[in-house]
Amino acid sequence: MRARIAPLLVALGTFACGGEAPPPASPSGVTAVVAPPTPSAPPAPKVPRAASPQPASASAVTFARMAKHPEPGWSVPSQLSFVPGTRKIAYLASEQKNDVLSLFEYDEAQGATKVLLRAQDLVPKAGEVISKEEELRRERQRLRTKGITSYAFAKQGGRLVVPFAGDVYLRESDGRVRALTATKDPELDPKICASGEKVVYVRGPELYAYDLASSKEVALTRGAKAHVTRGQSDYNSQEEFGEPSGFFLSPDCKSVVFLEVDDAEVDELVVPGYRAGEARFDAERYPLAGGKNPKVSVYVAPLAGGAPRKVTLPGMDGRYLVSFSWEPTSAAFSLQAVARDQRSVSFVRVDARSLATSVREIASDRRYAEALPMKRLEGSSGFVSIGVTGGHGHLELRDGQGAVEKVLTQGAWDVTQISAIDEKNRVVYFVGTKDSPLERNLYAVPLAGGEVRRVTPEPGVHVPVVDGETGRYLDVHSARNRPPAVELRGPKGEKLHDLTPPKDPEIEALGVRPLEPFTAYTKDGTLLHGNLLRPRRQEPGRLYPVVVMVYGGPGVQAVQNKFAPKLLWQHLADRGFFVLQVDNRGSAGRGHEFASVTYGKLGRIELEDQLDALEALKSMEGVDPTRVGIYGVSYGGTMVLNAMLRAPGKYKAGIADASVVDWSFYDSGYTERYLGPKGPAYTETELSQHAAALQGKLLVMHGLMDENVHFANSAKLVDALVAAQKPFDMVVLPGERHGTKDPAAKEWVSRKIAEYFAETLR
């Protein structure tokens, strides 16, 4: 800042070098006595002026562009895979840089790319119709794309199966495509067995197998009672345990393990809504925290048809059954059983012929333990898993019964994914945070243990797909200041082929700027990482408002060294806002203690950390500490309400979208893991009881058809705010679920968010 220069009163006189000046003579010859100069007052400090947010026209990023998917730079190949038995690569990508995907193939030998399959190849005239069942399945998987959204190759024979518009399609190795089903009810989750002989899928409550040689369908299950499904995992498994499927094919293509889920005793909730001119009142079975969970049973059935056999699991009643995996010989399969309180996990091996079981506890924790990510060895019944060692996730070599034989990695960093096992060269490839908690690199370590070798050369976040037979890997990688690249690399990181699309001109046209790293410390000295975007046109002596973008919940790391256009952020920064995001304690990527410290007191430590980070930002030049807004969705919306109701006066405005207000309204799998069994913690974390403390402006948003965080949460908050006579604003989106997806609604919501902050933080 420049200080204001105060006027100085100077007494005039004549000075001689080296001595004091004699007093001047008056015109009459009388010597005039002149008073010594009066000391000047210190310059008055210049008071910084508040900069008002600029109009929407100040940004090249329009609300219509915010509603489109993907963001600039991210129209790149996804779901990359090595086509079995070939030197070809398959992937999904958009031909028009939108959210409609096609299946592509890259031939390494020819260096050529071609489209294998388009949506219109399957249903030429009719548009894509998504059933309610498929819509809910996509919600659990957070799928936002259309067209060809998934595919699977058989390990042998070159056959390919694709689901589309509720039916199942097969592409032969010679390119011929045929529909395997054309039924009124949609088929879900189709899988092709390793040999390519059969395709298995769910229709309604039952499981079916389609024999490709005879073109005949066989019902593997029959006679499901009301509220019973076969071959589908339950809500908790899909939403909270990363188990999207409910059946698992044996490697020899002779058997299938499947789940039977009985929801009869689970609470039934009504999810209202309004779509396409019609009112909706959908009844959903939802396992509330502290309430009844579904009864889940495990069966084995022959794929040729025949009576399924039930697996007896002594002492496993009420446990979450997840992480199913067959041994390579098909002689046995395994599952992991997570206790209802989620403080212990057992490994269960089941003999496929006798159905005899063996059980071993493989994880336990005083707060919560999670099922172990694992990958099978091909040459034995053993496997490699990620377990907690020294407070961090590390590789473990285990035998077929689940016993640890060797810990392969160690240190104050985490293994986040097992990519592949090269058994010929006895090497495990994995992704981890060894070089930075903000990055994800590919590493290799001997199966016998030893030195960890980094494979990916560039800094940033890498999402590799590794060929376990050759060590080659497909890599989608980026950094804050580097748009994503897609490359095929050799086992030492050498570049073999570049699949990166041409640079997206929108990055420059929209003026997309990279996010700056931001750090702050909590009161106890814990380092927090963040992302910062400053106002594009920042003038000295001006103060600018702040918008905090918050998530803050367990299992998520929002701040990473990867390319993130964040168009809403760019728009706000163009209009004169600081935009800040910080990962508080409780988030992922920093070890088990950092993640689990919030157990039993959700919202308290997270809010303390967000406030500490905000204080650090307020010391930055140009930040107006009196004009701070906060925005979040889902757990982020809950954090907004924590900030507005439990730290009144710290934030001038907040927008809370799809927020949990009362954890007893949320599902049992998530809530009991992080908050514990239903008890005092639920009362302490309930937010509507603080409604009377609201200061500042609050906008509550919610999709009426949200089947994840139900509208009852926002309804309870509104009721409390009305009772406390507190003014607030509200937006209800009658056709939206958890998160806004309809393009028109997304455009409207983006405008509402930006203009709300422009108005309340002016």
- Could you give the residue numbers annotated as active site? 634, 706, 738
Contacts of residue 18, defined as CB under 8 A and 6 or more positions apart, other chains included, come to: none
**DSSP states of 477-543 as a string?**
EEETTEEEEEEEE-TTS-EEEE-PPPPPHHHHHTT--PPEEEEEE-TT--EEEEEEE--SS--TTEE
The Cα 1–Cα 621 span in angstroms is: 9
Question: Which H or E run includes 582?
Answer: strand 578-583
Pairing mode of beta strands 278-285, 320-326: unpaired
Q: How many other C-beta atoms can be found within 10 angstroms of the C-beta atom of residue 519? A: 12
The Cα 19–Cα 130 span in angstroms is: 97
Q: Residue 660 corresponds to which tokens in the numbers above?
A: 């949990």
Contacts of residue 234, defined as CB under 8 A and 6 or more positions apart, other chains included, come to: 246, 259, 261, 263, 287, 293, 294, 296
> Within the chain, what is the greatest distance between any pair of CA atoms?
133
The Cα 363–Cα 343 span in angstroms is: 8
Task: Check residue 282 and report its DSSP letter.
Answer: E
Number of H helices, E strands in the chain: 13, 45
The Cα 396–Cα 374 span in angstroms is: 9
The Cα 541–Cα 24 span in angstroms is: 45
Task: Tell me which residue has tokens 């007494």.
Answer: 11
The CA distances from residue 655 to 306, 572, 614, 652, in Å, are: 56, 15, 17, 11
372: nearest Cα among 384, 359, 381: 384
The Cα 607–Cα 591 span in angstroms is: 20
Q: Residue 623 corresponds to which tokens in the numbers above?
A: 């930040």
